[in-house]
Structure 1
Amino acid sequence: MKKVLLIGTISYCLMSSPVFAQEIDAEYNNKIKEYTTDSRFLPASVMNVVDHPTIPSPLKHFGEIIGSPGVMHNTSKIYEYYQLLAEKSPHLQIKQVETTEEGRPIYVVIIGNDDSMEKLDIYKNHLNRLADPRITTPSEAETILESAKPVYYLNGGMHSTEMGSPEMLMELAYRLVTSEEKTIKQIRDNVIVLINPVSEPDGRDKLVDWYYRYSKTRTEWDDGYPRSAPYWGKYVFHDNNRDGLQVSQAITKGIFSIFYEWHPTVMLDLHESVPLLYISTGTGPYNEQIDPVTIGEWQVMANHDITTLAAQGMPGAFTWAFYDGWWPGYGIWVANNHNSNGRFYETFGNAGANTYMRDLSNQKYAGDPATTREWYRPDPPTERVYWSARNNVNYMQAGVLASLTYAAQNAEQLLRNFYQKGVNSIRKGKEDSPKAFVIPADQKDPVMAAYLVNQLRAQAIEVHEAESGEYVVLLDQPYRNLAVTLLTEQKYPKEAKFPPYDDIAWTLGYLYGVEVQPKDSVEYEISSLKKVDSDVNYEGEISGSGNSYFIHYQAQNTVLPALYWIREQSKNAEIRVIKSEFVIDQDTLNVGSMMIKGISSSQAGELGKKFGLDLIRSSSAPESDKTHAVQLPRVAIYHTWFNTQDEGWSRYTFEQRGIPYTSIDKDDLKAGNLNSKFDVILVPRSRGTASDFIHGIDSRFGPMPYTKTDQFPSHGFPDSSPDITGGPGFLGIENLKNFVDAGGVVIALDNSTVMVAETGITRDLEPYTASGLFHPGSVVTVKAKKSNHPVLYGFPETFSIFRGNGPLYQVDLAKRGMMLLQYGTKPLKDEEPYTGEIMGMAKAESKQEEKAEAGKEPAYVRSGMVRNEQTIIGQGSIFNVPVGKGRIIAFTFDPLHRYLNHHDAPLVWNTLINWNDLGD
């Protein structure tokens, strides 16, 4: 191995700096040059990797440098290297913060100088004090600022096909602990660097196996070959970066755990997609509750990074034109939501370590081609780029080094901004309206009210309990802005120039079906409020006496799992749904309420506590012809192999609720005989056309096993197949139709209605195009067409649901009875009563009485934004389509969206409870 003794000056970025005598690894540097496809892609800042005498570089440890062609490392190898660095260097520590759904560890790596590493608890306490101005006066903050250090958190490997960051971060860590170059030493001395090497380890291992099993042999980028394994995490695919409001997956829990322990001043999430390096600021509209100080930091830091790369001659770095900055549920937005600064990069990537010719000629962002010179992209790339894994490492690492340098040189200002944002939040809580939110005690689903309290606490929002039982969120607290954004309606501007990047509404009261009241004044004695210090849990109560138990049904989320639990506890238990209002003493039970017989009083007590259900005990009983027996269904959840995103959310929801199911795929449909195994088949939302549902992944790439082997141990989970190419084919679709004909029920959600409506399983649903309709994820008003239909049990005539840009269908007027629920409250034109003259009848007989409207029609959009909403009002949102002896229940929205819209989920639970009594 050649070594060079370098004494003198290394120049890069915007500065030059003398260094101590260090041996530079000439072989490492030569390989960087060799694997970089263009000298313009080779910044000085990534050169001069030190050949340390006791700390092994990636080259020494792995035998190849980072970014070598054809080389990707799985999590065990990555973690092994960090463990080695921790053993060899006093400037690095590694500790586990979480465990994934499949049992892999999630680690955080801590890097700093001797002072930092010896006093980590002191520096963490400094940031904890600055995070809450209520416990830290301005003068105390000034004292802390004299010695505090910013914490800069780098998050890698969130999206598993974006494979470069877990590689780059290993080289960066080695550089940060070994180099004595002035700017690196400045970073090490002035900043505590946190690295989450692989935030989604389950997906990382699947994709590394996929790369070696399939992708490594590909020579053309645009050959149509699947670049990804069908699964990343156990449940969640690309949406693992849409879990920041739910905090449901291990990846998010790990990120939140790191944030709450350290209060990082800046967080940078390392992604890969657009050419050549996007540095986030966003086109806007920005989230209305983000402090302007944070928005200013986005701009300053992005332009600093772009300037630093430009000074090194690197083309293709840009900002602004990629996303908006509105949705607060990205993983890294834990920083923006909590007075820190959350940023992300998008580096150009090849989903592996191959080198490809990439064509940029058809790529556009914010309406401009990716190759044009703009104010936000002063040095664009050419239309063709020959791109390697090492290019990716160079760009990402040069950007990170630039940003770390900014933090090191502006440490006090970043920390001062962090403290000031907390001050601003508390001031707004005292001066602006609302000043508090109240969650009343009397809720139709008290379990969901408790869940809302717990979710607010998961966001570090303080909640108090009043003596009268309601929960109170006082807004003179550091995270006031987040509380406001979560609990109020969103008003996305209709005139926004560019389409939103994601969902645009998330009002938790609407999504959870919980009443939340904003208050312009605090109506409590503060001393009487008790801070909630642990998760709350609603336990149901039993009233009355008698041999039967009744559930007053209001579409509570826990009823269906409670019914499955009853079946497990007592095979002789009888459960009946009441099909008309039923009066017990002073209680009037809704249509859809339930009568339970054959359980003991102790079982009833456990039922109420376990599922948060109030039970009424009575000896009264409705007439038998006004009830129907509950026969709990055998449920299958179908997944395609070409898009598993939303079926993962459905599986997660079923498991969280305790609803049993069987996962099936194309092979099960082709095998047929479905009625012998299942009563209901749920088809979660899946992107694709009718052809995709029939034919699946192109069979010309097959056979393509997704099975666990000794060589590829991460594959075959959570499902496996000897060949994931091809779909169910026409035979599978015919077998699904036979299932419905024979009495089965298919529930199709959102775009998966294509599978039943456009493949011939039913011909009653005709695709409808609403001219000019733009319907990003928003909370909107719907109205029941058949209020007492079992699918709508527990819901009022008019309520809200969450809907995105899903498909629409229509049925002939003669079949309009299939429409159970409509969008908006006004009928379609052909449903409006005729009020004109009727020839052949006397005028008196033909005159129609006009019904006076009772009150003002509710607005269609409750939270979010819809353009040309008049084109969807009156159209069907849920259809009940008879096919033979069975039913198709077609939802033109997703009631199981990302484990967020819990208020809508009981529409699915109703279908399962009443699957054999869905009527006309």
Structure 2
Amino acid sequence: MLRKILSLACIFCIYTSLFAQQLDEQYNQLIKDYTTDARFLPEKLLNMVDHPTIPSPLKFFGHIIGAEGHVHRSEEIFGYYKKLAETSPMVHMQEMGKSEEGRSFYLVIIADEKSIERLEHYKTQTARLADARITSPEQARAIIQDSKPIYYVSGGMHATEMGSPEMLMELAYRLVTSTDDEIRQIRENIITVINPIMEPDGWDKQVDWYYRYTKGREKFDDGFPRSTPYWGKYVFHDNNRDGLQISQEITKSIFKGFFEFHPTVMLDLHESVPLLYISTGTGPYNDYVDPITQSEWQVMGNHDVAAVAAQGMPGAFTWAFYDGWWPGYGIWVANNHNSNGRFYETYGNAGADTYLRDLSTARYAGDLATSKEWYRPDPATPQVLWSFRNNINYTQVGVIASLSYAANNAKLLLENFYKKGYNSLQKGKTEGPKAYSIAKAQRDPSMVAYLADRLIAQGIEVHENDTHYIALTEQPYRNLLVSLMTPTAYPKDAKFPPYDAIAWTLPNLYGVEVEKHEELQKNPAELKRVEAGVRYEGTVSADATSYLIPYHAQANVLPALYAVEAGARNAEFFVLPNSTEIQGKLYPAGTVLIRKINASLAKQIAQNFGLDLVPEPVTIMRAALRDIQLPRISIYHTWFNTQDEGWSRFTFDTNKIPYTSIDKDDLKAGNLRAKYDVILVPRVRGNAKNFIHGVDSKYGPMPYTKTADFPSHGFPASTSDMTGGPGFVGMENLKKFVEEGGMLITLENTSAIMAEAGLIPELSPVSTPTLFHPGSIVRGKSRNPVNPILYGYPEDFDLFRGNGPLLQTDKYNRQYMVAQYGYGQLKDEVPYEGPILGMPTVEKVEKEEKTATKNPPYVVSGMVRNEQEIIGHGAIFQVPVGKGSIVAFTFDPLHRYLNLHQAPMVWNAMMHWNYR
């Protein structure tokens, strides 16, 4: 009987092996048909299996992946993976949360059947390797023998980069059905985790956009917008710049996946440069990334380039794109936590059409994209006929090569993963600092709690006692902790400009004081571990009907006032415009007084908004107060650039500040002052021409509306025609709004646009030809400390500024300058001390020498070249226009929900919008 069973099993094995070699000739021929050049198609991709029970994309969709004119919405893509999971025991699919619009995030896990059965075991093993406190080197060696690397591959973060979500479906089918030795080793030796569509909201909008507007267009570079105006509800391309804040649902899902699986490698698939870029970066590399990871970047990058070249495919390269410095990308959850985060950039057409593309002028790291270099051994020709299928081929070949490397070096990758965490832990034991302490009693206790909570969200352990939060550095993510708490020093002599911002020191961005300890001040055993969800609950010291909020530019004061207004319609709000002593206690300028409120609501406000309310000690004379009238706020958005407007909306929504979203049609309709008191115009790219005229009207009408055919459009805003802008009529109405008593607030580049358009003629651009100011934390200084915009701020303060435009007024208008950059004076403000013709000579009186006070440095964290060109120039202006005013920031105080210490400057302006 046993012999019979074995005989039948052998027959089954032989049958399975023979069947597995049967190829899907139709699928393979279609791959050939849609590939434009034989060099773009290696033989290894022409081995699609015709499986009897597991459907290929061709059987499931009716066309192959990369077919001309075909892309799929998120539910179709997820439906395919669900079918794979139903038909193959080698596929496991799990939901990882919901997007802002309610779409699901998924992970698809692929490995051989035994690995899937033991998936929880392997996840436990990598978690043990991630923490060297619970796993000794000896134990790690034993664990590694019974572990498998987990390789996380993700696509679809940026909506217009449309190849990877499609390619990953075909890759998944290959991983499940192919009997090639390379694929078999991948299945057996590693666990592949696929994030099919990182941003499903943006993906569906873009798929609708493709079918609605760009499918079949004859030329790629014809000026027509290739992208839908919105991706996520809030964030456009910056959804890959949220890795420090973890504020968007896409980032939360990435972090959830990392801490559940502890992947050894994470590979994020993008599209931009020709033909395939495999990341290593030009440097400088981030100081806090373990040298092992930096070396892995080189080894794996060169391996993948070699693998692509070995198959005869031109145009693959490494090194000459990106740097490796800023830690806030989504995939840097890996690099920041002792794993390995990498990415690809494949050439893409923002859709499924074929175009003749011109690469002849593209340069990266100073070299032409078509030049032969040490890092690009086989460049592309200056022009290529590029199809969607070409894109699929290149990305897929690269990913298979990278998975194969992991399968063949599984133990080494696991050893490196453990060693990086061990190294970080040892640094905490043997090097300073030993701890960071954050006093709970600070100017904004709510922001103190927020900093502690963000550290915990990053996987960093935080402890506390009655007075402080304490982060000990003897922990696996010590390097990240030090990185987040330490000012950066980007090298001034770096050969290539940085790829993104170069400073991210959280205490400075949040306005929180942190003390670094080279030796432990407290016995760790006396400390209590803090869990996620840290927040400060304010106090109300006694019951009353009127309360003071001593003002220190707390982030939640304006939101709290709106909540009071909603809960007590008769409530009255006032401000102390000057520092005032009341019964022996000094209340700073900007202190808010709330009257006609009951104690129950006061306690609710204190608790919900993290504010301390003090009963009004004595009735303050009306003459010492100024009314606060909460404004009706609108946020303006263009249809050609929604990035920073999205961050502004997110900041307002998160802070529960009510607003109305308006666009070009609202400006053209006029009557703005009857509806709004404040209009905020967030940063937009471009110039006054772009702002005034918007998307070229020759493409109109171009509706962005929800329809049965395009169900994802029309959100978060809708219009019957995206083309055109407010025009000169709209700009005149905006000016009229201010003249009639409204406040216009402009941020960074938009301030320059308004000056250029003539709404702020007092401001002019400043020429700074040698100034280089990548995103850094620098020092601002008050010029007009009595202006309400600076209520709650000291004489100097930290602010975040990038390479934006610089504005200035004539000397006789400097009273409009509220704050400046740095401590120095402008040249025309330095007093003249020489002789003056026509005036009698006055003998100089010898003055007693005083020790000169050295001004604090301008750069707090980051780097600025030729900073003398900006010091003394205006950071914030408030210019009167008729009965109203324009507040012009020359930096963005609402940048990526990151520089939270500056947001209260905007809240101050709004709270005191009718101040003259």
TM-score, normalised on structure 2? 0.97
SS of residue in 1 equivalent to 2:880: strand
Pair 1:441 & 2:440 matched: yes
Alignment partner, residue 291 of structure 1: 290
Alignment partner, residue 909 of structure 1: 907
Q: Deviation digits for residues 52-96 of structure 1, max 9, x if unmatched?
A: 011110011111100000001010110110111110000001111
Alpha-carbon distance in 2 for matches of 1:676, 1:812: 33
Indicate the larger mover: 826-835 or 800-809: 826-835
Alpha-carbon distance in 1 for matches of 2:638, 2:400: 42
Alpha-carbon distance in 2 for matches of 1:547, 1:569: 14
Q: Which amino acid aligns with 2:628?
A: V
Alignment partner, residue 611 of structure 1: 609
Alignment partner, residue 113 of structure 2: 114
Alignment partner, residue 478 of structure 1: 476
Pair 1:741 & 2:739 matched: yes
Alignment partner, residue 687 of structure 1: 685
Query: Does structure 2 retain, via aligned residues, the 8 Å contact 1:584–1:618?
Result: no
Q: Deviation digits for residues 647-703 of structure 1, max 9, x if unmatched?
A: 000000000000000000000000000001100000000001110000001111111
SS of residue in 1 equivalent to 2:21: strand
Alignment partner, residue 227 of structure 1: 226
Alpha-carbon distance in 2 for matches of 1:848, 1:774: 41
Alignment partner, residue 898 of structure 1: 896
SS of residue in 1 equivalent to 2:534: coil
Indicate the larger mover: 119-128 or 568-577: 568-577
Alpha-carbon distance in 2 for matches of 1:363, 1:66: 29
**Structure 2 counterparts to residues 452-531 of structure 1, below 5 A:** 452-466=451-465, 468-531=466-529
Offset of residue 217 of structure 1: 2.5
Alpha-carbon distance in 2 for matches of 1:384, 1:848: 74
Q: Deviation digits for residues 588-614 of structure 1, max 9, x if unmatched?
A: 111111111111112211121111111
Judged with a 3 Å threshold, the aligned counterparts in structure 2 of structure 1 residues 850 and 802 are, in CA distance, closer, same or farther, namely farther
SS of residue in 2 equivalent to 1:542: coil
Alpha-carbon distance in 2 for matches of 1:21, 1:686: 55
Offset of residue 19 of structure 1: 8.6
Judged with a 3 Å threshold, the aligned counterparts in structure 2 of structure 1 residues 544 and 60 are, in CA distance, closer, same or farther, namely closer
Alpha-carbon distance in 2 for matches of 1:458, 1:585: 43
Q: Deviation digits for residues 845-899 of structure 1, max 9, x if unmatched?
A: 8879799576321100000000110000000010111111110000000000000
Pair 1:169 & 2:168 matched: yes
Q: Deviation digits for residues 725-745 of structure 1, max 9, x if unmatched?
A: 110001100110110111111
Query: Does structure 1 retain, via aligned residues, the 8 Å contact 2:639–2:722?
Result: yes
Pair 1:136 & 2:135 matched: yes
Alpha-carbon distance in 2 for matches of 1:124, 1:847: 79
Alpha-carbon distance in 1 for matches of 2:604, 2:203: 42
Pair 1:417 & 2:416 matched: yes
Pair 1:103 & 2:102 matched: yes
SS of residue in 2 equivalent to 1:675: coil
Query: Does structure 2 retain, via aligned residues, the 8 Å contact 1:784–1:797?
Result: yes
Alpha-carbon distance in 1 for matches of 2:558, 2:515: 29
SS of residue in 2 equivalent to 1:202: helix
Alpha-carbon distance in 1 for matches of 2:228, 2:19: 47
Alignment partner, residue 15 of structure 1: none
Pair 1:678 & 2:676 matched: yes
Q: Deviation digits for residues 555-608 of structure 1, max 9, x if unmatched?
A: 000000011111111111111010111112342111111111111112211121
Offset of residue 839 of structure 1: 4.8
Alignment partner, residue 4 of structure 2: none
Alpha-carbon distance in 2 for matches of 1:598, 1:177: 68
Pair 1:277 & 2:276 matched: yes
Judged with a 3 Å threshold, the aligned counterparts in structure 2 of structure 1 residues 21 and 461 are, in CA distance, closer, same or farther, namely closer
Alignment partner, residue 8 of structure 2: none
Q: Which amino acid aligns with 2:468?
A: E
Pair 1:157 & 2:149 matched: no
SS of residue in 2 equivalent to 1:800: strand
Query: Does structure 2 retain, via aligned residues, the 8 Å contact 1:837–1:847?
Result: no
Q: Which amino acid aligns with 2:430?
A: E
Alpha-carbon distance in 1 for matches of 2:874, 2:296: 45
Alignment partner, residue 757 of structure 1: 755
**Structure 2 counterparts to residues 691-770 of structure 1, below 5 A:** 691-770=689-768
SS of residue in 2 equivalent to 1:534: coil
Alpha-carbon distance in 2 for matches of 1:687, 1:848: 54
Query: Does structure 2 retain, via aligned residues, the 8 Å contact 1:438–1:471?
Result: yes
Alpha-carbon distance in 1 for matches of 2:851, 2:96: 58
Alpha-carbon distance in 1 for matches of 2:38, 2:838: 88
SS of residue in 2 equivalent to 1:748: strand
Alignment partner, residue 14 of structure 2: none
**Structure 2 counterparts to residues 26-45 of structure 1, below 5 A:** 26-45=25-44
Alignment root-mean-square deviation, CA: 1.4
Alignment partner, residue 82 of structure 2: 83
Q: Deviation digits for residues 775-815 of structure 1, max 9, x if unmatched?
A: 11000011111111111100011111000011111111111
Alpha-carbon distance in 1 for matches of 2:681, 2:852: 39
Alpha-carbon distance in 1 for matches of 2:849, 2:504: 36
Alignment partner, residue 357 of structure 1: 356
**Structure 2 counterparts to residues 255-274 of structure 1, below 5 A:** 255-274=254-273
Offset of residue 843 of structure 1: 4.5
Q: Which amino acid aligns with 1:211?
A: Y
Offset of residue 762 of structure 1: 2.3
Alignment partner, residue 385 of structure 1: 384
Query: Which structure 1 residue ranges, 5 or more long, are not aligned?
Result: 1-17
Offset of residue 435 of structure 1: 1.2
Q: How many residues of Structure 1 are paired with residues of Structure 2 in the alignment?
A: 900
User: Structure 1 vs Structure 2: percent identity of aligned residues?
Assistant: 61
Indicate the larger mover: 837-846 or 248-257: 837-846
Alpha-carbon distance in 2 for matches of 1:617, 1:194: 57
1:580 to 560, 572, 578: 578
Q: Which amino acid aligns with 1:763?
A: P
Query: Does structure 1 retain, via aligned residues, the 8 Å contact 2:150–2:193?
Result: yes
2:792 to 794, 798, 816: 794
Query: Does structure 2 retain, via aligned residues, the 8 Å contact 1:836–1:847?
Result: no
Pair 1:193 & 2:192 matched: yes
Alignment partner, residue 243 of structure 1: 242
Alignment partner, residue 770 of structure 2: 772
Alignment partner, residue 622 of structure 2: 624
Offset of residue 543 of structure 1: 3.3
Alignment partner, residue 647 of structure 1: 645
Alpha-carbon distance in 1 for matches of 2:368, 2:502: 26
Q: Deviation digits for residues 308-352 of structure 1, max 9, x if unmatched?
A: 111100100000000000000000000000000000000000000
Query: Does structure 1 retain, via aligned residues, the 8 Å contact 2:543–2:599?
Result: no
Alignment partner, residue 9 of structure 1: none
Offset of residue 281 of structure 1: 0.2
Alpha-carbon distance in 2 for matches of 1:127, 1:681: 51
Query: Does structure 2 retain, via aligned residues, the 8 Å contact 1:607–1:613?
Result: yes
Alignment partner, residue 182 of structure 1: 181
Query: Does structure 2 retain, via aligned residues, the 8 Å contact 1:544–1:618?
Result: no
Alpha-carbon distance in 2 for matches of 1:850, 1:877: 35
**Structure 2 counterparts to residues 662-677 of structure 1, below 5 A:** 662-677=660-675
SS of residue in 1 equivalent to 2:885: strand
Query: Does structure 2 retain, via aligned residues, the 8 Å contact 1:453–1:463?
Result: yes
Q: Deviation digits for residues 366-395 of structure 1, max 9, x if unmatched?
A: 000000000000100000000000000000
Q: Which amino acid aligns with 2:151?
A: Y
Q: Which amino acid aligns with 2:906?
A: V
Judged with a 3 Å threshold, the aligned counterparts in structure 2 of structure 1 residues 312 and 638 are, in CA distance, closer, same or farther, namely same
Indicate the larger mover: 848-857 or 895-904: 848-857
Alpha-carbon distance in 1 for matches of 2:247, 2:399: 29
Query: Which structure 2 residue ranges, 5 or more long, are not aligned?
Result: 1-16
Q: Deviation digits for residues 806-831 of structure 1, max 9, x if unmatched?
A: 11111111111011100011111111
Alpha-carbon distance in 2 for matches of 1:538, 1:223: 53
Alpha-carbon distance in 1 for matches of 2:770, 2:199: 39
Alignment partner, residue 57 of structure 1: 56
Alpha-carbon distance in 2 for matches of 1:350, 1:612: 49
Alpha-carbon distance in 2 for matches of 1:378, 1:204: 34
Judged with a 3 Å threshold, the aligned counterparts in structure 2 of structure 1 residues 166 and 857 are, in CA distance, closer, same or farther, namely same
Alignment partner, residue 855 of structure 2: 857
Offset of residue 45 of structure 1: 2.4
Indicate the larger mover: 666-675 or 757-766: 757-766
**Structure 2 counterparts to residues 333-372 of structure 1, below 5 A:** 333-372=332-371
